[in-house]
Amino acid sequence: MNKYKDWDKKDLIEHIKILEKKKKFGLTWEHKNDEGPVLFCKENLIVLEEDIKKRIVSKKSNNFNLFIEGDNYYSLAALNYSFEKKIDFIYIDPPYNTGGDWKYTNDYINRDDPYIHTKWLSFMYERLRLAKDLLKDDGIICVTIDNHEAPRLWLLLDEMFGSNNFLGEVIIRNNPASRNVDGKIALTHEFAFFYGKSLKSKIAKLPVHPKDKTHKYLQDPNGIWYAPTNLRKTGVDNFGVKKDGSIHHRHYPIYVDPKTKEISTSKKFKIVIYPVNEDGEKVIWRRAKEDIEEMYKKEEIWYNKTSFGDQIYYKFYGGTDGESPKSIWIEPEFSASEHGTPSLNNVLGKKSSFPFPKSPFAVERCVEIGCPNKDGIVLDFFAGSGTTAHAVMNLNLKKQKNLKFIVCTNNENSIADEDTYPRIRNVIKGGYEDRKGNKVEGYDTNLNYYKISSIKKTNTDQDKIKLSKRLDEMIMMKENTYNVVLEEKNYKIFNLEDKYTIIIYNVAVFDKVKEKLKKINGKIKIYIFSLSNENFNEEFEEFPNIITESFPGTLLSMYKRLFINL
Ligand SMILES: C[S@@+](CC[C@H](N)C(=O)[O-])C[C@H]1O[C@@H](n2cnc3c(N)ncnc32)[C@H](O)[C@@H]1O
C-alpha cells in the first residue's frame, strides 16, 4: 500500500475507477512480460536457418515435415509468417510446472517460487497467443496437463479460445501404477483439453466395430451389419406427439399371418399388432406404413412372440459409421509408463534419459480425433522426445493418411540431439526392433531441420535489406516448395511437383526471370524484394496465373503486430 501514500485524491479516484472496471470473474494473474524471448523479440527479428546436414530426403514422398530447434516462442514467431491459418491440429504437452521441469528467464522454476503459477501462466499465455493464429478456422488444439496446473490452464484456454469453443476434456490413465503422495489421492491420470478455433471445429467420430457395440449386431447375407431391433419406438419421442397435440401418423396396425408369419399393413391376417408400450400407452413405429411391405419382401422385418406378447422386429442398419470419442481413456496402450519410455528406447536402440515421453498411442488417438482430414498439418511446439512426430507417421500408415508434422523443441539437456532428431530419423529409416523383436520398416517421408537465428532490429531500410537475404527458408515453407531448381546471385527458383516459387532480390533481373518463366509449366508465385512494398504485378502481366508479392514488408508488419504492443 506504500505506493499510494504520495498520491493526491484526484489520481486515487481515477485509479479506483480503473480498478472497479477490472474484471472480477475468470482468471486473473499478474501477467509478466519479462521473459527473455518476449523481450528479445521486441528488439530483434527472428529468422530460420536450415541445418542442411540434418535434412532427411526420401526417394518417393513429396511430404516435407519440419523440425525447428530453439525456444518455441521464437519458433512460433517464425511460423506465423509461413503458416498463419494453415495448421489443422496442435498437440502440446507443456512442462507440468511441478518444480524444476522448465525454465523462466534462464532459470529452472523451483517448487517454492512464490510466482510459480504466475510465471507458468505468462509463459503459456505468450506461446498460446502466437499459436492460435496458426490454426485454421476449423482447427483444434489439444493440451495435456496433470492436476497441478489443470484448473488454471482450463481457465486460460477458456479465455483465449472462448468457452463456446471448448470441445471437451479427456481423462487419460497415463500412469496406472499411480504417483503416491502420503495423505493424498494417488494420481493415475492426466487431462487432455480440446478447444476449437471456432464453432466450425469438430471432434471426429471414431470408427466402431459392430462386434464391440453394446447391443448385438449381426451380418446379413451381403455381409452388412445390422442390429435386430424392436419396431416399436422407445425413448423420448416415442409417443410421437406433434406440436399441435395430434399423434404422429406412425401409430398404425400391422397384420401377421399366424401360420406363414407373413406381415402386411392390409387388414388380411388374424394377428393385429399396434405399437403400445409396457404401460399400455399408444406409441409409434420406427418406420412409416408405406415401407413395411417392401421391408418384408426384402426380409428386413419379422414377427416374434416374446414374453411381452406379439412383437415386430426389423434390421437396423445404422450406428456403425462411428461414435464420438468417450471422455475417459483407460486402455493400457494409453499409459505413458508402459508405452512411453519403452517405445522411445526401442526406436533409439538405447536407453533414453528423457523422463516423461507420452505413449505414442495416446497421441495418435488425440491426432485421430482432432485432425480428421486425410491431408493436414499437425504442430507440436513442446515436442520433447518427438512422440507426436512418431504418432503422426504411425497414424498415416494405419489409416492411409498423408498428414505432415512440424515439431519444435529446445535442445535442453541435448534432447533435440539425443532424442527428438534420432527418433524421427530412425522411424523414417526403419530397421530397429519393436518390443516383440520384429524389425520395423521405415516410413517414406522428408524432414527439414531448422535453427533459430535473428537480426537486430533498427527500423531502417537496412533491416529490410538484411532480412531479404535471410528469408529463403521461410518463403520456401510458406509456399511448400523445398526443391532448389536454380540459384543465381539475384534470383532463385524453388519447386515442388507443379508449384514454383521465384525469389527476386534485385529488379535488374526481371528480363532474365521472364525468359525462365516461358519455360516453366506450373503454378508460379514470385516474391520480389521491395523497400516500398511494391509488388510489380504489371511487370508480369503477360504471364497469366502468376502471383507476385513483395518482401520483406509483410514479415515486418507481422512482427510489429505480434511484438510491439506487448
Ligand atoms: C512434458 S515435455 C513433452 C514431452 C513430449 N510430449 C514427449 O512425449 O516426449 C515438455 C518439453 O518441452 C520442452 N520445453 C520447455 N520449455 C520450452 C520452450 N520454451 N521451448 C521449447 N521447448 C520447451 C522441454 O525441454 C520438454 O522436452
Model pLDDT for residues 429-440, shown as the tens digit of each residue:
999 988 888 899
| Residue 343 grid cell | 517405445
260-283 average pLDDT score: 90
Asked which of 16-25, 119-128, 183-192, 265-274 is least confident by mean pLDDT, the reply is 16-25
Q: Is the CB of 352 under 6 A from ligand 1?
A: no
What is the atom index within ligand 1 of the atom nearest the CA of 420? 9
- Confidence category of residue 115, pLDDT binned at 50, 70, 90: confident
Q: Is residue 21 pLDDT above 90, yes or no?
A: no
What φ, ψ does residue 283 adopt, rounded to 5°? -125, -165
- Confidence category of residue 545, pLDDT binned at 50, 70, 90: confident
Per residue, the 3-state secondary structure of 432-454, as one string, reads CECCCCCECCCCCCEEEEEEEEE
Model pLDDT for residues 168-179, shown as the tens digit of each residue:
999 999 999 987
- Pocket test of ligand 1: the residue of 378, 381, 412 to mutate, having most ligand atoms within 8 Å of its CB, is 412
Q: How many A from CA of 386 to the centre of ligand 1?
A: 9
199: left (phi over 0), alpha (psi -120 to 50) or beta: alpha
Residue type, 338: E
Q: Is residue 3 pLDDT above 80, yes or no?
A: no
The span from the CA of 372 to the CA of 365, in Å, is 11
- Confidence category of residue 215, pLDDT binned at 50, 70, 90: low
What is the atom index within ligand 1 of the atom nearest the CA of 37? 19
What is the atom index within ligand 1 of the atom nearest the CA of 358? 8
Q: Is the CB of 102 under 6 A from ligand 1?
A: yes
How much is the pLDDT for 68?
98
Q: Is residue 396 pLDDT above 90, yes or no?
A: yes
Q: Is the CB of 239 under 6 A from ligand 1?
A: no
How much is the pLDDT for 1?
58
- Confidence category of residue 566, pLDDT binned at 50, 70, 90: low
Q: Is residue 143 pLDDT above 80, yes or no?
A: yes
How much is the pLDDT for 242?
67
- Confidence category of residue 182, pLDDT binned at 50, 70, 90: confident
| Residue 107 grid cell | 532459470
What is the atom index within ligand 1 of the atom nearest the CA of 344? 9
Neighbours of 159 (CB within 10 A): 14
Nearest Cα residue to atom 4 of ligand 1? 384
- Pocket test of ligand 1: the residue of 409, 415, 418 to mutate, having most ligand atoms within 8 Å of its CB, is 409
Q: Is the CB of 71 under 6 A from ligand 1?
A: yes
Q: How open is the CA angle 168-173-179, to the nearest 5 degrees?
A: 125
- Confidence category of residue 181, pLDDT binned at 50, 70, 90: confident
455-482 average pLDDT score: 90
How much is the pLDDT for 168?
98
Q: Is the CB of 357 under 6 A from ligand 1?
A: yes
- Confidence category of residue 100, pLDDT binned at 50, 70, 90: confident
Q: Is the CB of 95 under 6 A from ligand 1?
A: yes
- Pocket test of ligand 1: the residue of 394, 410, 452 to mutate, having most ligand atoms within 8 Å of its CB, is 410
Model pLDDT for residues 41-72, shown as the tens digit of each residue:
999 999 999 999 999 998 888 999 999 999 99
The mean of the pLDDT values for the chain is 91
Q: Is residue 246 pLDDT above 80, yes or no?
A: no
Identical fold between 49-206+325-446 and 456-563 = no
Asked which of 215-224, 241-250, 258-267, 379-388 is least confident by mean pLDDT, the reply is 241-250
Model pLDDT for residues 311-327, shown as the tens digit of each residue:
999 999 887 778 899 99
Model pLDDT for residues 403-414, shown as the tens digit of each residue:
999 999 999 999
118-135 average pLDDT score: 96
Q: Is the CB of 382 under 6 A from ligand 1?
A: yes
Domain 49-206+325-446 homologous superfamily, CATH: Vaccinia Virus protein VP39 (3.40.50.150)
Q: Domain coordinates of the chain in residue numbers?
A: 49-206+325-446, 210-316, 456-563
Q: Which residues pair with 46 in a beta bridge?
A: 454
487-500 average pLDDT score: 95
Q: Is residue 236 pLDDT above 70, yes or no?
A: no
Q: How many A from CA of 502 to the centre of ligand 1?
A: 36
Q: How open is the CA angle 373-377-383, to the nearest 5 degrees?
A: 125
Model pLDDT for residues 354-394, shown as the tens digit of each residue:
988 999 999 999 999 999 999 999 999 999 999 999 999 99
Q: Is the CB of 82 under 6 A from ligand 1?
A: no
CA-based end-to-end distance of the chain: 27
How much is the pLDDT for 247?
65
The span from the CA of 419 to the CA of 425, in Å, is 10
- Confidence category of residue 213, pLDDT binned at 50, 70, 90: low
Share of the chain above pLDDT 90, in %: 71
> What topology does CATH give the domain 456-563?
Trna Endonuclease; Chain: A, domain 1 (3.40.1350)
Q: Is residue 240 pLDDT above 80, yes or no?
A: no
Q: Is residue 101 pLDDT above 80, yes or no?
A: yes
Q: What burial letters (b/e) apply to 300-310, b meaning 16+ CB within 10 Å?
A: bbbbeeeeeee
297-308 average pLDDT score: 91
Q: How many A from CA of 522 to the centre of ligand 1?
A: 40
What is the atom index within ligand 1 of the atom nearest the CA of 383? 5
Q: How many A from CA of 151 to the centre of ligand 1?
A: 20
Q: Is the CB of 70 under 6 A from ligand 1?
A: no
Q: Is the CB of 362 under 6 A from ligand 1?
A: no
Q: Is residue 22 pLDDT above 90, yes or no?
A: no
CA distances (Å), origin 387, targets 376, 390, 429, 566? 18, 5, 16, 33
Q: Is the CB of 72 under 6 A from ligand 1?
A: yes
